Amino acid sequence: MMVVRLLLVVALVVAGAAGPATAQSPARMVIATGVDPAFSQFYVAHEAGLFKKNGLDVQINTGPSGSAMVAFLVGNQVNAAYGAEQAGITAHNVDRNVVIVAEGTTLLRWFSIVGGKNVNSLDDLKGKRLGIAPGTGSEVFWLEVVKHLKLNKADYTIVNVEAPEMVAALERGNLDGFAVWEPWPTRAIMSVKGAKIVRDSQGIFTGRNFIYMNRGWIEKNRDAAERFMTSIAEANDLVNNHREDATQMVSKFLKLPVEITRELMPKLAFPLALSNESVGNVNLAMDQLIKMGKMKQSFDLREYVYPDLLRKVRPANVTLTLPKS
């Protein structure tokens, strides 16, 4: 019954979506991201056939995190990617063609610091090994925890580790805790004896994941770029208006148990927007990178934020005010 209902909903969404299906040969795209529900629009657009409906032949490459895959936009190795704040800034510093085209996800209750056996607080983690995925939302979150709670970073031994490896490292005893996004905290609590949340992100940090594209590719493939954004907007509608059906699609794509997916989705919001709040997170991440010595100075947001595609597809969703020249 669920399968029949799912197919009916997808058919209605596709039939009612703006714009007719293109009659020309499908435009080829390669896009990249991580493997968690925070990137739902990419998965739903694929599973619901929205890319195909809009005349696109899209290959989705996945990696250990969305942020790790953003780097492939440099030199147009992929045409679009979906990841956190620091990743896009770092990629843009290498290749000015890497631009933000939309804030895809607001991470409402998505980050946590997990402690292992005998670790019940941040004080218990002092002098112990804390896993951080550098250059991702994991690092952004941890630095905000340090700032907000006035912690001494020197009290903690930071271990660089990719998010999917953290749970196993905690179980083996190679880590005493880690700071990361879902679903890894939930997976740790379910599978590692004694694992627990010692601090979540509420009141400290609201992360945002951005959809990035390569400006050079956009300008050479403007029609395909607009059809890509149309597909993402239609997927966003499905996520927001048919949440259970979208949850089933995300679960299928990720091979994540639907019970876990259903628990995680309410911790996210899917605005598909460009707002002053979006830019606020970009500025926060730039400040962090400058303080860490990973970049010398902030760059021109007018070169980095590319609102044209979203404004074409969903003009009401673009409300940001960029600095004047």
Residues 293 and 304 grouped into a single domain:
yes
Alpha helices by DSSP H, 83-221: 85-94, 137-149, 163-172, 184-191, 215-220
In the DSSP assignment, the letter for residue 109 is S
CB atoms within 10 A of CB 283: 13
Say if 30 falls within a structural domain: yes
Say if 172 falls within a structural domain: yes
Residues 165 and 221 grouped into a single domain:
no
Structural domain including 255 reads: 25-108+206-317
Which structure tokens are listed for 39?
A: 């990137």
* Mean pLDDT score, 234-244: 98
Domain boundary among 153, 179, 200: 200
Residues 93 and 210 grouped into a single domain:
yes
Say if 221 falls within a structural domain: yes
Quick one: angle between helices 137-149 and 276-291, nearest 10?
80
pLDDT at 186 over 50: yes
What's 71's domain CATH number?
A: 3.40.190.10
Confidence of residue 18 (pLDDT cuts 50, 70, 90): very low
Classify residue 293 as exposed, middle or buried by CB count within 10 Å of its CB (0-12, 13-18, 19+). Answer: exposed
pLDDT (tens digit, 9 = 90+) per residue, 189-230?
999 999 999 999 989 989 999 999 999 999 999 999 999 999
Peptide bond into 183 cis (omega under 30): yes
Residues 39 and 97 grouped into a single domain:
yes
pLDDT (tens digit, 9 = 90+) per residue, 103-150?
999 999 899 999 999 999 999 999 999 999 998 889 999 999 999 999
The strand pairing partners of 102, in sequence order, are 211
Structure confidence at residue 1 (pLDDT):
45
pLDDT at 323 over 90: no
DSSP per-residue string spanning 270-313: ---BB-HHHHHHHHHHHHHHHHTTS-SS---HHHHB--HHHHHH
Domain count, the chain: 2
SS3 26: coil
Which structure tokens are listed for 245?
A: 């059906």
* Residues of the chain above pLDDT 90, percent: 83
The strand pairing partners of 60, in sequence order, are 31
* Torsion of Cα atoms, 81 then 85 then 86 then 87, to 10°: 0
Helix (H) or strand (E) holding 236: helix 222-241
Say if 193 falls within a structural domain: yes
Domain boundary among 168, 200, 232: 200
Residues 175 and 140 grouped into a single domain:
yes
Residues 103 and 210 grouped into a single domain:
yes
